Amino acid sequence: MAIVALVLPHQLFDPHPAIAGADRVVLVEEPLLFTQYAFHRQTLRFRRETMTRYRDRLASRGVRVELVEAHDLADTGAIAPRLAAEGVREVRLVDPSDDWIERRLRAAFARAGITATWLEDPHFLTPDTEAQAWLSGRTRLFFTDFYVKQRRRLGLLLDEAGKPEGGQWSFEPTVWNLVDLAQRSYQRCVCRGDLQ
């Protein structure tokens, strides 16, 4: 059974996680990103040009690739029946990180009987699965806790002993104290009539 890697305009990664092991690649000029709104023509030209060059680069590497233009699709989900008509039963794609695109594609693939494998979006520093694991079971969410975990996970701004450079994880309380001081100073000036 052929596996198709579906690539959207904002996912021109090199290397692209969905392409490895795929029988062919279908680049889709997503209607939401081409025709949904009155985009500036330079924006549209940029999107089309980057996709064309990406297609050409893949083809030069021996990858079987097709570019489906936005005007050939009535809407986001129109790619699914088109692929199904070609006998495609399995696609792999990177999470589009867009609720509308994701919902429309999921529904269209289900209607067309196509199994979709959704891969992590490499745009993000922290994979969604890792963020979800960190969130599970927590009753309180503070950014400082997440910030400390990220610094430890990525080895950022740590000394040889794994302690924070500068002696503390965050200087946020210091910043908030400065904001509070500024607000109180402003209120004193207003009360005295210095500011109108």
pLDDT in tens, 40-67: 889 888 899 999 999 999 999 999 999 9
Q: How far is CA 101 from CA 43, 65, 182, in A?
A: 19, 22, 44
pLDDT higher than 60, residue 5: yes
pLDDT higher than 80, residue 174: no
pLDDT higher than 90, residue 18: yes
Tokens of 168: 């503390």
Q: How far is CA 70 from CA 42, 108, 146, in A?
A: 16, 16, 40
pLDDT higher than 90, residue 108: yes
Element of type H or E holding 156:
none
Mean pLDDT of 63-72: 92
The predicted model scores a pTM of 0.74
Tokens of 45: 């030209």
pLDDT band with cut points at 50, 70 and 90 for residue 33: confident
Q: Which CATH class is domain 3-119?
A: alpha beta
Q: Which residue has the tokens 């980057």?
A: 50
pLDDT higher than 60, residue 16: yes
What's the pLDDT at 38?
A: 85
CATH 3.40.50.620 domain locations along the chain:
3-119
Element of type H or E holding 128:
helix 128-135
pLDDT band with cut points at 50, 70 and 90 for residue 17: very high
pLDDT higher than 90, residue 190: no
Q: Which residue has the higher pLDDT, 161 or 185?
A: 161
Mean pLDDT of 81-92: 95
pLDDT higher than 90, residue 168: no
Least confident of 61-65, 163-167, 187-191: 187-191
Mean pLDDT of 21-26: 94
